[in-house]
Structure 1
């Protein structure tokens, strides 16, 4: 089931039971299209997630932790201004559509009672969250501004009148009707009946329509079956279905295999489980947009620089040809005349074979010879400088490729720290420059346990790696890293681990590396005391010697 109108109905019922009459304690916007509203209700703090994410739009109570950005958005500040301390009167659904209205009452600056609606539209890429003055229907602000150039039917901008999306010509399934009965008599195939049910009823998703069709076609009494189906959403039995394609429903479908079902006590807990990995990855990519752009630009610049430097080295490797020409011209200087543009002379470095040498007509014979010696000296002198620049450029490429690898496995908190690192290194401008900077608390490395219970720590970004290797780890504990490719720093919190523990930690190191999709990945390991960080080295960079190398297949252990 997608988050269709029926699932929305069930979720609204769940949220009303938990949150109605609660007070808004805090508003945060940890991700560009998602709000977390902390509501104090029934002597408990609930984190209400309102998501206008184009891929995973939804409303739910969440227990997944989040990290606030250093600077709140304008929309966050607007919501804090109007809704801080507001009472959530009720939550209702518009028809059976994926539009939910959160009704609040609060006091304005003069102390007068004020009614506000927070309207959430759960409609894929058209999803939005709008704060509206109930009395005037004027939009105070929206999480996504939609102008006339994007939508000619509706303006979603501050100051505009809020207008509901155009209503579809479909029946509300909760109002009295006989459509289901007529359709069931006309169509005896589940797929065909489901298609017509979906076209006839508001908010009926594909999975819900198929389940309703199955129930109607196997029913002995259509009205009872239909009423039981729609009423089931008021008393859901949330399940995740692990079939060919993982999906979720408010209750088990008629033809579900019980062995494929995973049950949950609430719809919100179901969604936390279902979206935990998908949404986190999407949030990470969303937050990493600027970071990825910076990395791509820097890599493009560095690779272009390497190509240019390698060409200079190739030219320098041919420097001897200029020295030879200079020496031949000096030897046969008497044969040169002013104004000559070229001359052919015997090459005494190649059995006196004739060698054509280009000349500058405006230069004297001796200056022409000197010109070749100067070119030779310049190329030879440049080799050391070019090699140094090439080393720096390649090191920077390795650094950014390592960050690219970290982004692939990063959580939103890791992305914030990667951004901080790039700010510290000068690749991203710090917008808070000149202001009092907010202290950033680095997240902890990810923890795993090997089969014998030994704790293994894995750094998920360079700042974590540095702290893990040089602050957290003891000098006799074991450090691991994939050989000659980007990867995480891994620490075994044991000074004398078993071979099995080293093997499992090495598999982790391979998993959290660029070689995670390979079968035979080399991993170095050694005591932490043999690590060294050169002065001025970039975050995450270390040198070492005396390592042991083993080859493993990447594998992620259970946390």
Structure 2
């Protein structure tokens, strides 16, 4: 579901209750389009996410960890200058549109009180976060600068007057008199056109909301009550996450028109964290790890080309005996060969004296031509061992890079640091020169912890360093280790020597989900005690061997993964 005007209304109500009179204690900009304002309210700390992402624009309290850039962006510095230590007075929504206004009270450099407004416009690729001086209506700074050449309607630059976006069409469903709408025309429309009519009549209504309201309006006799109740639910939210076979949705209440497993969460912010966790994370990984992904893809392509050439060389080496035979036949019939010949046909006594045509160099003597064939034969014979060795190394390296790429696909932004450090340690990436200073020892990030239905902890490594540390150092010898069979994926550890069948099944689903086979069904997952895992000498990070394993077949389940992230109340 899109973060429409109706969802914005519900989020504003929740944030006003939670953040009233909150004080800003920290301002960070971990990503280009997103700002985190940490507020202290009601003796609690709340990280408030303001996102102007073109696909995932939203406002919420977030508990998802994030990493900050080494150098704060300019917009973050501006916010710190004007808003650090300020008090949040109120949060308002403009009509029923996707625009929020955060009003702050602070003191300027002279110590005088001033009112500043942080405006968040949630409008797809036009989303923005804009800091405005309330008294002068001047823009102090904004997360995305927009010139007149990009937008003729509004000039969005520091120092310009703030101009509201074009007003959305329709009435505010939370305040309007619903009897003023032409409901007769609605019921006269074909069913396929009714959702669009609702969207044009009600400001800020998204497609899914319109379809849901259409479904409830099948009762013609009580349509006004139905519409009133529909809008009332946004004032008393029951946040619901619906996960279908191919798509998931977040809604303020359980929608009857959405098919899938529905889970209610305590707050809208927790709902949005659950929904956007994977989607936004994938985008952040692509942004932050762009150069790393490009490097690995190039290495995979180079190894694939090298392997193809080596296979061709090996195929050529299979014909080495042809050169030996031709050399021996030339030597046997050397008197019949005359200098200056370019070819000769002789009897092949290795094939019942069938004639064989042999190419010659007219610049060489007959004996030199024979020696040339023997030399080619010997060169190809000697190359076989070298080519086989190179093929083994190239195949291992290709498997390694495919494993790294699979890990990036399941990585969180913080995991990219581990992956980059590993590639530097393996000599694939150059390390920055540290001069005379001794480089600090790198600290590996922690694996993610999940909780089985019975409360048993399940650890999941997200990269090779985490996998090695988890399996070879942290896990007890009696713990159960899981990994997808013959496919790149995470090491999974069940913190128990004799887990229940349910826990084993849940852990196998985690192993299947955090692997290259996460979109497949019936994925084979091996499991075995940690004490039977061995790491060969000189093996690359994350590579282990084992024998005596048992195998389960599991289908990855995203809804279950989200559920297992929450610690059971009885645990």
Instruction: Mark yes or no: TM-score above 0.5.
Output: yes
Contact 2:139 2:159 in 1 (8 A): yes
Instruction: Tell me, in whole angstroms, the C-alpha distance in 1 between the residues paired with 2:489 and 2:230.
Output: 51
Residue 455 of structure 1 contacts residue 492 of structure 1 at CA under 8 Å; is this kept in 2?
yes
Given that residues 475 and 530 in structure 2 are in contact (C-alpha distance below 8 angstroms), is that contact kept between their aligned partners in structure 1?
A: no
Which secondary structure state, in structure 1, belongs to the residue aligned with residue 56 of structure 2? coil
Alignment match, 1:183: 182
Matches within 5 A, 1:404-423: 404-423=405-424
Mapped to 1, the partners of 2:352 and 2:271 lie a distance apart of 85
Q: Cα gap change, 1:183/1:216 in structure 2, threshold over 3 Å: closer, same or farther?
A: farther
Instruction: Find the residue that maps to 1:117 and give its secondary structure.
Output: strand
Q: How far apart, in 2, do the equivalents of 1:373 and 1:154 lie?
A: 80
Structure-to-structure mapping, 1:47-446, within 5 angstroms: 47-69=47-69, 72-107=72-107, 115-134=115-134, 139-146=139-146, 151-156=151-156, 162-173=162-173, 180-188=179-187, 191=191, 194-209=195-210, 214=216, 233=234, 235-240=235-240, 242=242, 247-250=249-252, 263-284=264-285, 287-427=288-428, 440-446=443-449
Map of 1:491 onto structure 2: 493
Match of 2:554 in 1: 554
Give the conservation status (yes or no) of the 8 Å contact 2:483–2:511.
Answer: yes
Corresponding residue SS for 1:100: strand
Instruction: Kindly provide the CA deviation profile for residues 378-414 of structure 1, in whole angstroms up to 9, marking residues without a partner as x.
Output: 2222222222221121112211222333344444444
3-state SS of paired residue (2:554) = coil
SS of equivalent to 2:549: strand
Q: CA deviation at 1:153?
A: 4.1
Is 1:523 the equivalent of 2:526?
yes
| Residues 216 and 226 in structure 1, CA contact (< 8 A), matched pair in contact too | no
**How does the TM-score come out when normalised to structure 2?**
0.80
Deviation at 1:162, TM superposition (A): 4.4
Distance in 2 (CA, whole Å) between partners of 1:103 and 1:476 is 57
Q: Specify whether residues 162 and 356 from structure 1 end up closer, same or farther in structure 2 by C-alpha distance, changes over 3 A only.
A: farther
Does the 8 Å contact 1:55/1:125 carry over to 2?
Answer: yes
Give the distance between the partners of 2:426 and 2:498, measured in 1 at CA.
37
- Could you report, residue by residue, the CA deviation over 1:333-358 in whole angstroms, capped at 9, with x for unpaired residues? 44444433223333333333332222
Residues 482-515 of structure 1: per-residue CA shift (max 9 Å, x gap): 4433232233445677899777756654554445
| 2:6–2:204 CA contact under 8 A, matched in 1 | yes
Pick closer, same or farther for the CA change 1:178–1:94 going to 2, 3 Å.
Answer: closer
Map Cα deviations across residues 240-292 of structure 1 (whole Å, 9 max, x no partner): 27497754444567x799x9875555432343344445544555555554444
Contact (CA 8 Å) 1:239, 1:248: kept in 2 or not? yes
Match of 2:469 among 467, 470, 477: 467
Query: Matched residues in 1 for 2:481 and 2:44: separation?
Result: 43
What is the CA–CA distance in structure 1 between the aligned matches of 2:118 and 2:317, rounded to whole Å? 68
1:205–1:369 Cα change, 3 Å? same
Q: What does residue 27 of structure 1 align with?
A: 27
Distance of aligned partners of 1:426 and 1:327 in 2 relative to their CA distance in 1, 3 Å threshold: same
Aligned to 2:21, what secondary structure does the other structure show? coil
Kept in 2: contact 1:237–1:264 (CA 8 A): no
Superposition deviation, residue 462 in structure 1: 1.0
* Higher deviation after alignment, 37-46 or 180-189: 180-189
**What RMSD, in angstroms, separates the aligned Cα atoms of the two structures?**
4.1
Change (3 A) 1:265 1:323: closer
In structure 2, the residue matched to 1:532 is 535
Task: Report the CA distance shift for 1:13/1:454 in structure 2 as closer, same or farther (over 3 A).
Answer: closer
Instruction: Please say which of residues 237-246 and 46-55 is displaced more in the overlay.
Output: 237-246
Q: Following the alignment from structure 2 to structure 1, what is the Cα–Cα distance between the partners of residues 117 and 144?
A: 16
- Please give the secondary structure, in 2, of the residue aligned with 1:238: coil
Aligned positions, number = 550
CA 1:411–1:371: 2 relative to 1, 3 Å: same
Q: Do the aligned residues in 1 keep the contact of 2:471 with 2:530 (CA within 8 Å)?
A: no
